[in-house]
Copies of this chain bind each other. A is one copy, B any other.
């Protein structure tokens, strides 16, 4: 770390900062400028935090040199990770297309949607059995019954299935059915849940929190990976800003930023970002053109009767149209469906 001293810092204060750093095994390299002294400190931060240094008399600021994540970064693994889920590679040349309804409503509904999205080009089935709803009075999902429906719809159509888990007590149950466990945006910093899914051997789809920086997002991935499960797929789904035209602001830059900082695959969820079906196609096109490793799109056979998020769901026919445009865009940048 680098300690920047105040212009008014005394020789005594500088000496005390160096002494503290030495106590914790750091080597110090002071640089005396005309107005300020800075101290480069080389050592192991695990027992002396930057914050402790900030509290010392005469210290103006402390700047980190190393990024806080190790497993999620590129230091140990430089090449992009490819995560295989039931024969579908995520993070390679071809795109992973997750599609399905927001909430699972019945076997008939889900089996029909699964068949249709598969035909249009989707390779992973998504759907919610446990739903986080902002009102306690809204439909919260079919729970285990939904998981059973989903497993069957996946098997019928040869598609791995992805569904959200909300509670540490339900991880085992969801993991018994799902091929990919989803951590939703609101739980991105539910650290107990992150640790719990980190103990399973199933790929985790980790959505970005509504107001999470990319660094916090990679630290959430680090939580999962630090428990032994390195199969983390990131999903950009929009962040909260002042702009009211869309439910969230889709952060396109997150795609190249994550690609630079991490080896983990990243997909995009234009449905939740837009919050309305009319903007799903342009956001999906943009995400693929910018290098996303896949898409997650809500599709419902009858959006106007959906029990959750109907307004952002495409019909199977609309989803088919989106896929038709994605194909040449993917090819234009050397990817494929």
Instruction: Give Cα distance in the complex from A227 to B192, angstroms.
Output: 23
The interface on chain A, measured as residues whose beta carbon lies within 8 A of the other chain's beta carbons, has a size of 101
The number of times this chain is found in the oligomer is 4
CB <8 Å contact, B255 and A249? no
Cα A290 to Cα B240 in complex, Å, equals 20
- Residue picked from A134, A168, A254, A288, most chain B C-beta under 10 Å: A134
A253: shortest Cβ distance to chain B, in Å? 5
Q: How far is the CA of A274 from the CA of B254 in the complex (A)?
A: 10
Q: Is the CB of A311 within 8 A of B54?
A: yes
Q: Nearest B residue to A248 by beta-carbon distance? A: B253
Select one of B33, B40, B52 contacting A310, CB under 8 A: B52
Q: In the complex the two chains form, is B246's CB within 8 Å of A253's CB? A: yes
Residues of B within 8 A of A137 (CB): 46, 226
Chain A, 192-222, contact with B by CB distance < 8 Å: what is the 0/1 string? 1111000000000000001101111001001
Q: List which A130-178 residues lie within 8 A (CB) of chain B.
A: 132-137, 140, 166-169
- CB distance A256 to B241 under 8 Å? no
State in angstroms the CA–CA spacing of A211 and B219 once bound together. 18
Q: Are A136 and B195 in contact (CB under 8 A)?
A: yes
